[in-house]
Amino acid sequence: MKFFVDTGDVDEIRDLDATGLVDGVTTNPTLIAQTGRNFLEVVEEICSIVDGPVSAEVAATDLDGMLAEGRRLREIAGNVCIKVPLTWDGLKACKALSDEGTQVNVTLCFSAAQALLAAKAGATFISPFVGRLDDIGADGMELISDVVEIYSQYPAITTEVLVASVRSPNHVIDAARMGAHVATLPPKVLRQLALHPLTDKGLAAFVKDWASTGQKIV
């Protein structure tokens, strides 16, 4: 499974990228707004840090606007992936941009039917929002299971399932077991994947025992 970082915080991205665990980045208007910085400048800086896809979302909601913004954003760097909403105009924009050789991330997916449409429109990634479905009492991971199963029936579908709105390590592990291609994680959740109380307990014991020997390695 590939890990994308879901943030507009350049310092966080740089720190996490140094681990070698980051395969890409996703942003959205809300995340960029939180930085207080210029949108285009943030996207450009992120693209200079990571080699993988960097999803930059259009602000327009009409077809012509999305195409104009998508074409402007892809000029920033070769690894920009244009993020469009799962609307009729968004699907049309996906088709047009994909035909031009641009990576497209279709976002705000909440049903398997929507995911099937995005794949047919040529999406590089489909972003089902598991956490937001959980928030309304639905089962977000059931959607991931459905989409992975449907896509697997058709070898011609190359769209990757990008699990979004991830709230916990359990979301990540469940999605990985289902065969989802990508999970985009807030920095906090990515760091949580490395935590376990028994790891901390074991390390503390090792440190204590080593100190008792009075030895040094260097």
In this structure, which amino acid lies at residue 210? W
Give the C-alpha separation, 12 to 214, whole Å.
37
Residue 8: φ, ψ to 5°: -110, 5
Cα angle: 118, vertex 124, 129; to 5 degrees: 60
Give the C-alpha separation, 176 to 148, whole Å.
11
Contact 82, 70 (CB under 8 A): yes
Cβ of 33: how many Cβ atoms within 10 Å? 11
Angle 88-99/63-73 helices, nearest 10 degrees? 40
The verdict on whether 216 is a catalytic residue reads no
By CB atoms closer than 10 A (0-12, 13-18, 19+), residue 12 is middle
Please pick, among 2, 83, 201, 208, the residue that the annotation labels catalytic.
83
Q: What is the largest CA-CA distance in the chain?
A: 71
Residue 122: φ, ψ to 5°: 95, 20
Give the chain's length.
218
Active site amino acids: 83
